[in-house]
């Protein structure tokens, strides 16, 4: 097998270093932490946006194009007729040296050609609505170099969806202003928009271009723009068509001399009454202010140092030292980094998610925040409130909402019956991390309607009720439009290829379609809810909470009984009942006899553990689902479209929801293994989808970024097993984090303190964890002299043995010794 490597980890700098620009697929990174965001590939492709990749796209990008990864922030260097880019693309002039370092919210791309080095540091400073591009040019040759430098950005006309289609309008609306070394993009500012963008450089320029065709030449490409090739800017002023921003700068460098140029791509919003400085002239005050803050190397270096400190602090909250570099780097760096990214972007913008399709998912965001909550709890808190505000009074929920407006997305609507449970999942994780019960008293509306506010606790209650009130003939949860598996559309019945399985009318009236995945999810989350109610009753001495706990316990017991009676297939849990009440995921079925989701959730819920069901189900996962690259979603794959099942059977064998390795759900089984105390099995499943292990073996086959998880790896029935797709934005990040931090390494936040309950491979002998938790800081050493898989024998906190395995919370520094 082709085992070529394109890069390697640099743990000390927390970077992935790419040494060959021709990676098997663009390998990207994310810049920005709160409002202003950018995607950047290893050849400087990608785009920027403010908050919302659909409604506030700042620069243009072309998905799925030829050549691949088209559009970005490009620097062209014309060195006496040789034209090249530091990131190799778009000119693709062979470089003497190339390197891309993707780090924590920054990327540094360096190229060298004919004795000139160009190194660009890209990042978004904290609390700033701009991307900094610090370009350092160095003359490493023995001659004087006279370089002609061109920068390049292409503006998007704000709404990324209409930008791609409404050309009859778009080609007439584009407007720019040029002031000194700053090019302003102000399309539609004259009417309803109060925002503009700008591209600045901190030096005098010798020319510019703002009209794409004038700069590039109608029959040229980004690889050979007329202006660059001739070394002559056109000083064009865009009126309609496609506005761009390009600076032209002449740079003379003595041998050994080096020069920094700071480029700034920024975004501004003005108050309605302060939009204009003069008729037709935009008010540039805020742009000037941001430029002023970042117009020297010193200021930029300081902003960069602040960003690095920010990440130091975030990554100091949970740190492990096991001595296994492959594990340590994922836990300490990349898994946590990916959790921040999924928290920020949900499933909206990646190189597989176009930024126009989906906003924030109700279920997705609740899961993402569980991977993020230890990093910045106040942001997770706000997210919970935002999500809950899109719930309906009956507990159902909008499936998605737009980050800019925070409104539920009407195009897709609701009716995904797993959604409500995830709100409990997210909220409980937040309270356990922070101890902040006050979130439950927050007044939160339904469907964002003023006047409909109830407490967040009330939202949790209606969430649980939504499941209980929507049970089917076997007393199992009705699936609705779909459960976690968006493609198991049991009430859809579509023969029209133009219908979306996701949005087409749902014929759930009279449906018997029930989900075992929701059954397991309900038991897990309802147990959390019961524990929460008991805690609230203890805290408040209010008997209503203990009554509520009792009420829900009855529902849990009933659900467990229903699963044991009608949800067990003999060797594993069934997946579902279809519209007509027929079994799905049973040995009686022709194809797809077993599915992963119900195994994961029912084993996490421990349903029937006492009767051996959990162990059998976990064994069946190993026997039927596991392969070289992880566990597939179902087995065998569907080989034909089944009208009653919907999208799941629309995919070719081994891809996506049809027997792909949908990484997101592997951790469910792994956690099931951990709860069952089977450390060796848990570890072997985990290592199969751990990026650092994949990185070592399969860079070429896997294709996508080797430093993060992807949503899907082609399964054993696929034409190319092991090929990865849909990198970055996947619930896998949060679940991998939960798995390793809380279940394998076993440090679990609880209401009263940190619980230590590792589940290890027998080869693990010792490791240390630094964990900040609320106002405390723990150094936890776990020793496993006898090679146990689970079970804590003894715990010593600050020199004193304690009963049980929960470190009672108290502020300050503590040393904990754990023996398995
Ligand atoms: C996608 C969706 C997620 C869904 C999963 C399985 O990742 O974002 O909501 O659960 O696919 O269909
Ligand atoms: C597709 C995908 C699924 C995703 C859904 C969201 O069906 O297969 O993974 O969750 O679209 O719209």
Q: Which ligand is nearest to the CA of 482?
A: 1
Question: What pLDDT is recorded for position 502?
Answer: 83
Q: Which residues line ligand 1 (CB under 6 A)?
A: 347, 361, 363-364, 484-487, 657, 711
Buried b (16+ CB within 10 A) or exposed e, 1-27: eeeeebbebeeeebbbbbeebebbbbb
Residue 539, classified by CB atoms within 10 Å of its CB into exposed (0-12), middle (13-18) or buried (19+), is exposed
Question: Is residue 399 within 6 Å of ligand 2 at its C-beta?
Answer: no
What is the number of alpha carbons within 13 Å of residue 638 lying toward its C-beta? 23
Distance 487 CA to ligand 2 centre (A): 7
Q: Which atom of ligand 2 is nearest to the CA of 501?
A: 7
Strands 195-201 and 207-211: unpaired
Question: Is residue 502 within 6 Å of ligand 2 at its C-beta?
Answer: yes
Question: What pLDDT is recorded for position 612?
Answer: 98
Distance 487 CA to ligand 1 centre (A): 8
Residue located nearest, by CA, to atom 10 of ligand 1: 484
Question: What pLDDT is recorded for position 56?
Answer: 97
Best residue among 502, 597, 712 to mutate for probing ligand 2, ranked by most atoms within 8 Å of CB:
502
CA dihedral 82, 86, 87, 90 (to 10 degrees): -30
Residue 210, classified by CB atoms within 10 Å of its CB into exposed (0-12), middle (13-18) or buried (19+), is buried
* 90 cis-preceded (ω within 30 degrees of 0): yes
In 602-665, where do the E strands start and end? 626-627, 630-631, 634-635, 661-662
Q: Classify residue 667 as left (phi > 0), alpha (psi -120 to 50) or beta.
A: alpha
Residue 800, classified by CB atoms within 10 Å of its CB into exposed (0-12), middle (13-18) or buried (19+), is exposed
Question: Is residue 556 within 6 Å of ligand 2 at its C-beta?
Answer: no
Structure token pair of residue 786: 């006898």
Contacts of 65 (CB under 8 A, 6+ apart): none
- Among residues 735, 474, 705, the alpha carbon closest in space to that of 596 is found at 735
Residue located nearest, by CA, to atom 7 of ligand 2: 487
Handedness of CA 554, 558, 561, 567 (dihedral sign): negative
Question: What pLDDT is recorded for position 782?
Answer: 98
CB of 678 closer than 8 Å to CB of 789: yes
pTM score above 0.95: yes
| Residues tagged active-site | 486
Residues recorded for the chain: 820
Structure token pair of residue 541: 């001495």
Question: What pLDDT is recorded for position 602?
Answer: 98
CB of 198 closer than 8 Å to CB of 185: yes
Best residue among 397, 632, 664 to mutate for probing ligand 1, ranked by most atoms within 8 Å of CB:
664
Question: What pLDDT is recorded for position 64?
Answer: 95
- Long-range contacts of the stretch 441-450 (C-beta < 8 A, 24+): 442/385, 444/385, 444/388, 444/389, 445/389, 446/389, 446/391, 446/392, 446/393, 447/389, 447/390, 447/391, 447/392, 447/393, 447/398, 447/408, 448/389, 448/390, 448/406, 448/407, 448/408
Residue located nearest, by CA, to atom 9 of ligand 1: 364
Mean pLDDT per 10-residue section of the chain, whose length is 820 residues:
87 98 98 96 98 96 95 98 98 98 98 98 98 99 98 98 97 98 98 98 98 98 98 98 98 98 98 97 98 98 98 98 98 98 94 90 96 97 97 95 85 91 98 98 97 98 98 98 96 93 83 97 98 97 95 98 98 98 98 98 98 98 98 98 96 98 98 98 98 94 97 97 98 98 98 98 98 98 98 98 97 98
Question: What pLDDT is recorded for position 1?
Answer: 54
């Amino acid at each position: 097998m082709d085992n070529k490597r394109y890069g390697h980890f640099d743990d000390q700098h927390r970077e992935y270093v790419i040494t060959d620009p021709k990676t098997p697929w663009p390998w990207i990174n994310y810049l920005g932490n709160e409002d202003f965001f950018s995607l950047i590939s290893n050849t400087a492709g990608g785009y920027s946006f403010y908050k919302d990749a659909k409604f506030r796209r700042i620069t243009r990008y072309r998905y799925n194009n030829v050549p691949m990864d088209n559009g970005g922030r490009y620097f062209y260097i014309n060195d006496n007729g040789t034209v090249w880019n530091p990131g190799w693309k778009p000119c693709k002039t062979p470089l003497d040296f190339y390197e891309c370092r993707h780090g924590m919210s920054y990327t540094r791309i360096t190229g060298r050609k004919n004795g000139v080095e160009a190194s660009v540091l890209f990042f978004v400073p904290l609390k700033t609505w701009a991307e900094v591009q610090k370009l350092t040019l160095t003359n490493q040759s023995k001659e004087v170099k006279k370089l002609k430098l061109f920068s390049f950005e292409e503006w998007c006309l704000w709404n990324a969806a209409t930008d791609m289609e409404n050309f009859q309008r778009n080609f007439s609306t584009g407007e720019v202003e040029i002031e000194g070394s700053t090019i302003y993009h102000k399309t539609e500012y004259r009417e309803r928009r109060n925002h503009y963008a700008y591209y600045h450089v901190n030096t005098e320029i010798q020319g510019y271009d703002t009209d794409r065709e004038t700069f590039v030449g109608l029959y040229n490409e980004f690889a050979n723009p007329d202006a660059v090739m001739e070394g002559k800017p056109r000083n064009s002023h865009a009126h309609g068509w496609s506005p761009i921003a390009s600076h032209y700068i002449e740079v003379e460098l003595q041998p050994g001399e080096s020069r920094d140029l700071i480029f700034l791509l920024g975004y501004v919003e003005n108050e309605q009454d302060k939009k204009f400085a003069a008729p037709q002239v935009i008010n540039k005050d805020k742009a000037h202010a941001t430029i002023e803050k970042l117009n020297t190397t010193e200021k930029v270096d300081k902003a960069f140092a602040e960003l690095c400190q920010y990440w130091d602090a975030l990554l100091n909250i949970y740190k492990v030292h096991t001595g296994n570099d492959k594990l340590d780097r994922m836990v300490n760096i990349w898994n946590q980094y990916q959790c921040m990214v999924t928290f920020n972007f949900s499933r909206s913008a990646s190189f597989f998610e176009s930024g126009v399709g989906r906003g924030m998912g109700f279920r997705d965001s609740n899961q993402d925040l569980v991977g993020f909550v230890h990093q910045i709890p106040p942001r997770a808190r706000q997210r919970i409130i935002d999500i809950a505000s899109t719930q309906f009074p009956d507990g159902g929920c909008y499936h998605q909402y737009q980050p800019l407006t925070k409104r539920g997305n009407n195009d897709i609507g609701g009716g995904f019956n797993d959604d409500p449970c995830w709100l409990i999942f997210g909220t409980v994780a937040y309270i356990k991390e922070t101890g902040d019960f006050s979130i439950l008293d927050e007044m939160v509306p339904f469907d964002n309607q003023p006047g409909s506010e109830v407490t967040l606790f009330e939202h949790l209650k209606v969430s649980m009720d939504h499941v209980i009130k929507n049970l089917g003939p076997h007393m199992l949860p009705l699936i609705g439009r779909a459960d976690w598996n968006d493609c198991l559309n049991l009430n859809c019945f579509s023969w029209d290829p133009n219908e979306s399985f996701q949005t087409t009318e749902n014929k759930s009236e009279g449906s018997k379609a029930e989900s075992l995945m929701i059954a397991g999810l309900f038991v897990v989350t309802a147990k959390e809810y019961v524990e929460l109610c008991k805690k609230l009753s203890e805290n408040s001495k209010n008997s209503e909470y203990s009554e509520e706990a009792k009420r829900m316990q009855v529902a849990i017991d009933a659900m467990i009984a229903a699963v044991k009676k009608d949800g067990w297939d003999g060797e594993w849990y069934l997946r579902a009942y279809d519209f007509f009440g027929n079994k799905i995921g049973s040995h009686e079925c022709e194809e797809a006899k077993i599915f992963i989701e119900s195994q994961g959730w029912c084993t996490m819920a421990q349903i029937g553990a006492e009767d051996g069901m959990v162990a059998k189900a976990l064994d069946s996962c190993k026997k039927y689902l596991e392969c070289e690259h992880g566990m597939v979603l179902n087995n065998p794959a569907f080989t034909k479209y089944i009208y009653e099942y919907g999208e799941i059977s629309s995919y070719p064998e081994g891809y996506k929801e049809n027997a792909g390795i949908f990484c997101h759900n592997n951790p469910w089984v792994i956690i099931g293994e951990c709860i069952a105390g089977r450390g060796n099995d848990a570890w072997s499943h985990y290592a199969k989808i751990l990026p650092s292990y994949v990185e070592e073996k399969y860079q070429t086959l896997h294709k996508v970024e080797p430093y993060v998880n992807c949503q899907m790896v082609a399964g054993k029935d696929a034409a190319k097993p092991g090929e990865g797709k849909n990198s970055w934005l996947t619930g896998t990040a949060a679940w991998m984090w939960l798995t390793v931090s809380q279940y394998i390494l076993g440090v679990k936040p609880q209401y009263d303190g940190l619980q230590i309950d590792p589940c290890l491979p027998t080869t693990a002998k010792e490791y240390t964890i630094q964990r900040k938790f609320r106002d405390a800081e723990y150094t936890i050493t776990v020793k496993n002299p006898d090679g146990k898989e689970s079970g804590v024998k003894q715990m010593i906190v600050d020199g004193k043995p304690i009963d049980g395995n929960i470190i009672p919370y108290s502020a300050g520094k503590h040393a904990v010794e754990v023996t398995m």
